[in-house]
Amino acid sequence: MQVFVTGASGWIGSASVDELLAAGHEVTGLARSDASASSLEKKGVRVLRGDLDDLDALRRGAEAAEGVVHLANKHDWAHPRESDRAERAAVETLLAALDGSDRPFVVASGLAMLAQGRLGTETDPSPAVGPASPRGGTENLALDHVEHGVRSIAARFAPTVHGTGDHGFIALIVAAARRRGVSGYVGEGTNAWAAVHRSDAARLVRLGLEQAPAGTRLHAAAEEAVSTREIAEAIGAMLDVPVVSVAPEDAVDHFGFIGRFFGLDMSASSELTRERFDWTPTGPTLLEDIAAGAYAHAGLDA
């Protein structure tokens, strides 16, 4: 299959590109910079220069492909509405190019806040509805286009897609621990996060593209619920610093913007995903990755 991938040089995207190439697919990757283009070309990826604001490049990439994997996101935490707007416009453009074709479209989404007081499941609809919602409501937008002849698949990623070199949420929490001299958790630390290793997430992206029926919600969650206290304890052991509770009202001051999320419960099941697509995670757990030094780099460049 000829696959167009946005975010092809990103954390999940680069691993997904490797997975697609290993399975015999041809890949065209969207590249914003010379460095990204060079890294993709070295892998044998056809490069399309552009970014999420270059709607013409997105349209051309989707029109020429037999399938599309959309993993790019601006992740501008200082201007979230701008990120949401760009995400909405990008997905609208990609869907317009795919309408009526029955081609697959895998769109990145998240597992955050699907359910309160229980594990989120694949049957739970995304709470992000409409252009003003997180990610511009693009999961629901994409699934609505099943009726327009697009094989839309929502790939819902755990809040931490972990591994050596990750600069995401866990890296930010480690950096805060290094900066503060203590490893914190919010409140009692009983709220929990789902987690998945990067390699397992990439394999699920490929399986979704190849196999998932229109309207499928995939849950990239190898672990359903790792408590935030356990995460803080693992970080404390790695850095050899004390582990402390941080009051919810002090979380943002202590952790930075990530404090808005570290106190939330973002746990989820992947039982249906495993059953339907024979997806068995094989990567290390989050706590194993932390103990092995996967986040030893975090905060050193601050």
pTM of the model: 0.95
Same domain, 79 and 228: no
Q: What is the pLDDT of residues 146-202, one digit of tens each?
A: 999 999 999 999 999 999 999 999 999 999 999 999 999 999 999 999 999 999 999
CATH code of residue 19: 3.40.50.720
Q: What is the pLDDT of residue 131?
A: 85
The predicted structure's pLDDT at residue 77: 65
DSSP the chain: -EEEEETTTSHHHHHHHHHHHHTT-EEEEEESSHHHHHHHHHHTPEEEE--TT-HHHHHHHHHT-SEEEE------TTSHHHHHHHHHHHHHHHHHHHTTS--EEEEEEE-TTS-SSS-B-TTSPPS--STTSGGGGHHHHHHHGGGGT-EEEEEEE-SEEE-TT--SHHHHHHHHHHHHSSEEEETTS--EEEEEEHHHHHHHHHHHHHHPPTTEEEEE-SEEEEEHHHHHHHHHHHHT--EEEE-GGGHHHHH-TTHHHHTS-B-B--HHHHHHHT----SPPHHHHHHTTTTTTTTTT-
The residue segments making up the domain with residue 115 are 2-159+196-221
Confidence of residue 82 (pLDDT cuts 50, 70, 90): confident
Which CATH number goes with the domain that contains 167? Answer: 3.90.25.10
pLDDT recorded at residue 302:
54
Residues 273 and 155 in one domain: no
Q: Is residue 106 part of a domain?
A: yes
> Does residue 45 form part of some domain?
yes
- Please tell me the total count of domains within the chain: 2
Question: Is there a single domain that holds both residue 228 and residue 282?
Answer: yes
